[in-house]
Structure 1
Amino acid sequence: MIIQVNTDSSIENDSALTAHVESVVEKALSRFGDKITRVEVHLHDENAHKPGEHDKRCLLEVRLAGLQPQAVTQHADTTHKAIAGACDKMKNLLESLLGRLNQH
């Protein structure tokens, strides 16, 4: 599973952030690892450097072998909360999608 982290200009994309994203994504989606080819994580601060509630956004796009890409978005107060929330949403989406495919 390849994990690619993209950020806007207001979020510093350093090795610590990349390591955190990779760890959270791998932990949340590891059971689907054989079906996932790539995960793209897009982090964005919608208010840039101004304060605001729920202004951090995480868009998580998962590329599945032989299927259409799936994407979810999560807004939160912090980048870490947005990442965790997006991973939870994606885990639920993949459980539902792959569960339905296995039933057929």
Structure 2
Amino acid sequence: MDFQFNTANDITGDDDVRARVEASIRQKLARIAEDITRVELHVRDFNGQRGGTDKRAVLEIRPRGYDPISVSHDAATVDLAANGAADKALTAFDREMGRRTNRKGH
């Protein structure tokens, strides 16, 4: 699974933040790691200097042979936003793959 981390100009994306966020996302997505080819994380500060819950993480996972799944999550910090997006991505992946299985013989 390839991992790509992108930040807007107003977010500090130093190596420490990148490594910490990537490790956290990889851990959360470990269960489906063999089923996805790439993970892209885009983080930005959508509220500017006004403060508050202003970090938005958009996470896109690319399952093998299927269209990409994209989710977003807003939080006060980059780590919280990324972790929330990873949780949502797992739910969206499970839902999408569940639709594609032949559970009732249809």
Q: Provide the TM-score with structure 2 as the length reference.
A: 0.89
Equivalent position of 2:28 in the other structure:
28
5+ residue gaps, structure 2: none
**SS at the partner of 1:60?**
strand
5+ residue gaps, structure 1: none
Equivalent position of 1:37 in the other structure:
37
Equivalent position of 2:66 in the other structure:
67
Q: Greater CA radius of gyration, 1 or 2?
A: 2
Q: Higher mean Cα deviation, 89-98 or 36-45?
A: 89-98
Mapped pair 1:85 → 2:73: no
Equivalent position of 2:51 in the other structure:
52
CA distance in 1, matches of 2:40, 2:54: 20
Q: Provide the TM-score with structure 1 as the length reference.
A: 0.91
**SS at the partner of 2:59?**
strand
- Number of equivalent positions: 103
Identity rate of aligned residues, in percent? 37
**SS at the partner of 1:61?**
strand
Equivalent position of 1:13 in the other structure:
13
CA distance in 1, matches of 2:77, 2:13: 15
**How much does 1:47 deviate?**
2.4
The 4+ residue runs of structure 1 with deviation greater than 4 A are none
RMSD over aligned CA atoms reads 1.3
Question: Match of 2:11, as an amino acid?
Answer: I
**How much does 1:28 deviate?**
1.0
Question: Match of 1:13, as an amino acid?
Answer: G
CA distance in 2, matches of 1:103, 1:30: 25
Task: Note the alpha carbon deviations across 1:13-65, whole angstroms, 9 max, x for none.
Answer: 111111112111111111111111000000000123x1322211000001111
Equivalent position of 2:94 in the other structure:
95
